[in-house]
Structure 1
Amino acid sequence: MALLIMVSWGSQLAVSHGSIGYALAAAMAFSLLVSVLLHELGHALVARWRGVGVRGITLDLLGGYTEMESDPRKPSTELLFSLAGPLVSFLIGAVATVAALLMPPSLLRILIWQVAFSNLVVAVYNALPGLPLDGGRALRAAVWAINGDKTTGTIVAGWSGRVVAVLTIVVAFVLYATGLYSAVGLIIAALIAFTLWQGATASINQAKVMARFPLIDPVRLARPLFVVPTGTSLAEALRRAAEQGRPAAALGVADASGRLVALVKREAAAAVPEQRRPWVPVESIARDIDSVGVIAAGLRGEDVIRAVQQHPADEFLVTTGEDVVGVLHLADLVQLLDPRARRSAQ
Structure 2
Amino acid sequence: MFGKRWRLFRLLGIPISLDASWLIILALISWSLVNVFRAEIPGRPASEYWIMGVVTALAFFACIVLHELGHAVVARSGGMPIRGITLFLFGGVAELEGEPLSAGTEFRMAIAGPVVSAVLALLFWGLARLGMAQAWAVQSVGVLRYLAWINATVLVFNLIPAFPLDGGRVLRSILWGASGNLRRATRWAAGIGQGFAWLLIAFGIIQFFADNFIGGIWLGLIGLFLKHAAESGYQQVLIREALQGEPVRRFMNPQPVVVPPSLDLRHWVDDYVYRYHRKLFPVASNGHLEGVISTQALAQIPREEWPLHTIAEVMRHDLGPASISPDADALDALSRMQRTGMSRLLVTDGDQLVGIVSLKDLLRFLNQKIELEGLAE
Is this contact kept in 2: 1:130–1:157, CA < 8 A? yes
One-letter code aligned to 1:195: F
Aligned pairs for 1:56-135 (under 5 A) are: 56-60=84-88, 62-102=90-130, 103-104=132-133, 106-135=138-167
The change in CA–CA distance for 1:153 and 1:43 in structure 2 (over 3 A counts) is same
Is this contact kept in 1: 2:204–2:217, CA < 8 A? no
Measured in 1, the distance between the counterparts of 2:49 and 2:336 equals: 54
Render the CA deviation track for 1:227-273: whole Å, top value 9, x for unaligned: 99x899x9xxxxxxxxxxxxxxx999663xxx545699999xxxxxx
Match of 2:194 in 1: 162
Asked if 1:329 is matched to 2:358, the reply is: yes
Match of 1:10 in 2: 34
List alignment gaps of at least 5 residues for structure 2.
1-24, 268-280, 296-310, 369-377
One-letter code aligned to 1:218: V
Aligned pairs for 1:303-314 (under 5 A) are: 305=334, 314=344
Measured in 2, the distance between the counterparts of 1:150 and 1:329 equals: 28
Q: Quick check: 326-335 or 289-298, which moved more?
A: 289-298
Match of 2:11 in 1: none
Match of 1:213 in 2: 243
Is this contact kept in 1: 2:76–2:82, CA < 8 A? yes
Secondary structure of 1:115 counterpart: helix
TM-score with structure 1 setting the length:
0.69
Aligned pairs for 1:244-323 (under 5 A) are: 255=286, 259-261=287-289, 291=319, 295-302=324-331, 305=334, 314-317=344-347
Is this contact kept in 2: 1:209–1:338, CA < 8 A? no
Measured in 2, the distance between the counterparts of 1:214 and 1:164 equals: 31
Which of 65, 72, 76 is matched with 1:44 structurally? 72
Measured in 2, the distance between the counterparts of 1:72 and 1:299 equals: 20
The change in CA–CA distance for 1:100 and 1:302 in structure 2 (over 3 A counts) is same
Secondary structure of 1:58 counterpart: strand
The change in CA–CA distance for 1:9 and 1:261 in structure 2 (over 3 A counts) is closer
Match of 2:227 in 1: 197
One-letter code aligned to 1:337: L
Secondary structure of 1:17 counterpart: coil
Compare CA radii of gyration and give the structure with the larger one.
1
Is this contact kept in 1: 2:128–2:141, CA < 8 A? yes
Which of 177, 180, 183 is matched with 1:151 structurally? 183
Is this contact kept in 1: 2:117–2:151, CA < 8 A? yes
Render the CA deviation track for 1:120-175: whole Å, top value 9, x for unaligned: 11111111122321122222322332333333333322222111212234456678
Render the CA deviation track for 1:269-322: whole Å, top value 9, x for unaligned: xxxxxxxxxxxxxx99xx899849665554555355467779986233365x99
The change in CA–CA distance for 1:38 and 1:328 in structure 2 (over 3 A counts) is closer
Secondary structure of 2:193 counterpart: helix
Offset of 1:222 from its aligned partner?
A: 2.8
TM-score with structure 2 setting the length:
0.64
One-letter code aligned to 2:230: A
Is this contact kept in 1: 2:84–2:95, CA < 8 A? yes
The change in CA–CA distance for 1:27 and 1:288 in structure 2 (over 3 A counts) is closer
Offset of 1:202 from its aligned partner?
A: 2.1
The change in CA–CA distance for 1:291 and 1:145 in structure 2 (over 3 A counts) is same
Percent sequence identity is 27
Match of 1:240 in 2: none
The change in CA–CA distance for 1:38 and 1:219 in structure 2 (over 3 A counts) is closer
Q: Quick check: 106-115 or 12-21, which moved more?
A: 12-21
Measured in 1, the distance between the counterparts of 2:51 and 2:335 equals: 48
Aligned pairs, number: 307
Offset of 1:113 from its aligned partner?
A: 1.8
Measured in 2, the distance between the counterparts of 1:191 and 1:226 equals: 44
Secondary structure of 1:166 counterpart: helix
Secondary structure of 2:347 counterpart: strand
Is this contact kept in 2: 1:165–1:196, CA < 8 A? yes
Offset of 1:337 from its aligned partner?
A: 2.7
List alignment gaps of at least 5 residues for structure 1.
235-249, 268-282, 340-346
One-letter code aligned to 1:3: A
The change in CA–CA distance for 1:185 and 1:318 in structure 2 (over 3 A counts) is same
